[in-house]
A and B are shown apart, each in its own frame.
Chain A
Amino acid sequence: MTRVAIVGLGFVPAQRKTPQYSYREMTYRAARQAYEDAGISPKEVDCFITCAEDLHEGTSIFDEYTPDQLGAVHKPMHTVTHDGLVGLACAWMAIESGAAELVVIEAHSKASNILTLDDLTTYAMDPALTRPFSLSPHFVAGLEMNAFLTQSENTEEACAAAVVLNRLRAGKNPAAAYGGETTVAQVLRSKPLSAPLKEAEKSPTADGAVVAVVASQERARRLKGRPIWIEGISWISDSPSLESREWGQAFYAQEAAAGAFRMAQITDPLREVDLFEVDDTYAYKELQHLEAIGLYERGKAGRAVLDAAQGPKDFPVNLSGGCLGRGDLLEAKGLYQIVELVLQLRGEAGKRQRACARRGFALSWRGVPTTSGAAAVLSKN
């Protein structure tokens, strides 16, 4: 097996709205930056991958709209209808198989152009069993939050603290759209969305684009950039059906993380990994995911988040501000986690730089109503 590395990265900072740019121009900007970072021309790339979903784009057969902004016209290119971390896994597989040496992946969000996102997400539900209720798709998160809090005995205050902490941290991240100060009381007082889930506990959407250049060890050696190695990568789905999934437990997160840790030969993540980006599309998800990946015992993540929100504590989780602080970037969520890990591991994270960051972990989740997650371990050495 060859080692596989991220050798170039480009991204547009997450923004609440981007009326001045088309998605193509945003992706083009990120691609130019990534190619310059890696010191390559798109002509050298063996294969290109976009992660996108037709209905989010408002365009059917969207995979036909992806090559030009990446310099991929006349090149092998395909679209993965999944989170960006699964795109990273596809790049890894293409290289491991020997089919490619240099692969480019891209994911973007133009969420501000989606005028009916809740309605669109309702179309992801079972047409006969769930859509007839005609209720907001966030009810799935409300129901799961209830099950998670009941089973784990974590508290609503601890979930609210994740919002406080992540928005505060986002204030130090120029690539985050929702940095700011808020309090646990303010979060708890925000309007109920699907109780116990509150409006302020749902990540607001943002626009952006990320492009990453991935290379084999051999190819990476001939490039100017500092490679960040993919040591582990794994993805998995639990039951798609609301009826037969495990309510309250993020089985997909547990299994995806276990797969990535196993591949990276990590047995004690808390000691062997220096920073974690874990999905927090809804505030309770941060706690649920931290327990599912084995960082905390059941019921213990809430205390850790509360403590971290109250004062300076060593809590290397979502230093970027997560989805709550950065914004929900749809299928680009996972690649924005990769942005944070790569910047930290290169020592380029500015005011939020973690000292001695050698190894980082990311866990993405595709959002309601899915039970699909992906995990990656990246290393500087």
Chain B
Amino acid sequence: MPATKTRQALKVWGSWKGELPLQNLYTAGIAGNEFFRVLKERGELLGAFCQQCEYGYVPARSFCERCFADLSGTFKTVSSEGVLLAWTQCHRDRTGKTLKKPVWLGAVRLQGSSSALIHILKVPPQELHAGRFVRAIFKPAAQRVGSILDLSHFE
């Protein structure tokens, strides 16, 4: 059980302030490793394909959530171009603090895939509409570390 740090004395109604200092490792797994390796080394997006469902997952996965098939032999890269399904302009950071500069996010269906990749969007607001063509912009190879942020944004 993680330790709870008690660091403040009673206030008027009596309460203590504590925190849970948690740290974890998250294993990428076979499909995740391949996706991030391809992203880092080649600047490309790897998907997995279920023939039975005619469904393409990006990022690649080891199994199909719809029919439960093993997808480990089906990995292949998809186009870095696709269409915009939905978008939002986020005004807060993860802690709820107002961002100095709001960030646009989009849900993008890449050509050859069926799922939606959520990522930062840099499209002029007046051009936003469902079905708009967008393309993935990757960071230069030297700056890629094997993170989802190796994909810089969609534009």
Task: Say whether A and B bind each other.
Answer: yes
Q: Footprint of B on A, CB under 8 Å? A: 19-20, 55, 58-61, 113, 115-119, 122, 127-139, 142-147, 150-151, 191-197, 239, 241-244, 247-248
CB nearest neighbor in B for A191: B91
> In the assembled complex, how far is the CB of residue B52 from the closest CB belonging to chain A, in whole angstroms?
15
- In the complex the two chains form, is B91's CB within 8 Å of A194's CB? yes
CB-based nearest A residue for B64: A244
> In the bound complex, do residue A243 and residue B96 qualify as a contact, i.e. CB atoms below 8 Å apart?
no
Please measure, in the bound complex, the distance between the C-alpha atom of A127 and the C-alpha atom of B85, giving whole angstroms. 23
Contact A194 B89 (CB under 8 A): yes
* Interchain CB contact (< 8 A) of B94 among A118, A193, A194: A118
Find out whether the CB atom of B107 lies under 8 angstroms from the CB atom of A147. yes
Selected from A61, A146, A243, the residue in CB contact (under 8 A) with B88 is A146
Q: Could you say which of A131, A194, A197 has the most chain B C-beta atoms within 10 Å of its C-beta?
A: A194
How distant is the Cα of A284 from the Cα of B87 in the complex, in angstroms? 15
Task: Report the minimum CB–CB distance from B54 to chain A (whole Å).
Answer: 13
Q: Do B91 and A244 have beta carbons less than 8 Å apart?
A: no
A194 contacts B26, C-beta separation under 8 Å: no
**A135 contacts B94, C-beta separation under 8 Å:** yes
CB closest residue in chain A, given B18: A58
* Other-chain residue from B58, B85, B88 in contact with A197 (beta carbon distance below 8 A): B88
Q: Given A239-B65, A243-B117, are A116 and B95 neighbors across the interface (CB < 8 Å)?
A: yes
List 17 contacting pairs A-B, 8 Å CB cutoff, sorted by A.
A118-B95, A122-B94, A129-B148, A132-B147, A132-B149, A133-B103, A136-B92, A136-B93, A139-B88, A143-B118, A144-B86, A191-B91, A192-B102, A194-B90, A242-B116, A243-B115, A247-B116
Q: Do A113 and B15 have beta carbons less than 8 Å apart? A: yes
The CA of A142 and the CA of B118, in the complex, are separated in Å by 13
Closest-by-CB residue of A relative to B89 is: A195
B interface bracket (residues with beta carbon within 8 Å of A): 35 or more
Q: What is the interface of chain B, defined by CB distance below 8 A to chain A?
A: 1-2, 4, 12-13, 15, 17-18, 20, 24, 26, 28, 32, 36, 55, 57-59, 65, 85-96, 98, 102-103, 105, 107, 114-118, 120, 130, 147-149
Residues of A within 8 A of B85 (CB): 147, 247
Chain B residues lying within 8 Å of A55, measured Cβ to Cβ, are 20
Contact across chains for B95 and A243 when beta carbons are under 8 A apart: no
Query: Which A residues are CB-close (under 8 A) to B13?
Result: 19-20
The 9 closest A-B pairs by CB, nearest first: A142-B88, A136-B92, A19-B13, A147-B86, A118-B96, A195-B89, A243-B115, A127-B26, A139-B90
Give which listed residue, B17, B28, B105, B107, contacts A133 with CB less than 8 A: B105
Q: How far is the CA of A357 from the CA of B45 in the complex (A)?
A: 55
> Contacting B120 at CB < 8 Å: which of A122, A133, A147, A248?
A133
Q: Which of B1, B87, B89, B94 has the most CB of A within 10 A?
A: B94
Give chain A residues whose Cβ lies under 8 Å from the Cβ of B107: 143, 147, 242, 247
Cβ-defined contact, B92 with A58, below 8 A: no
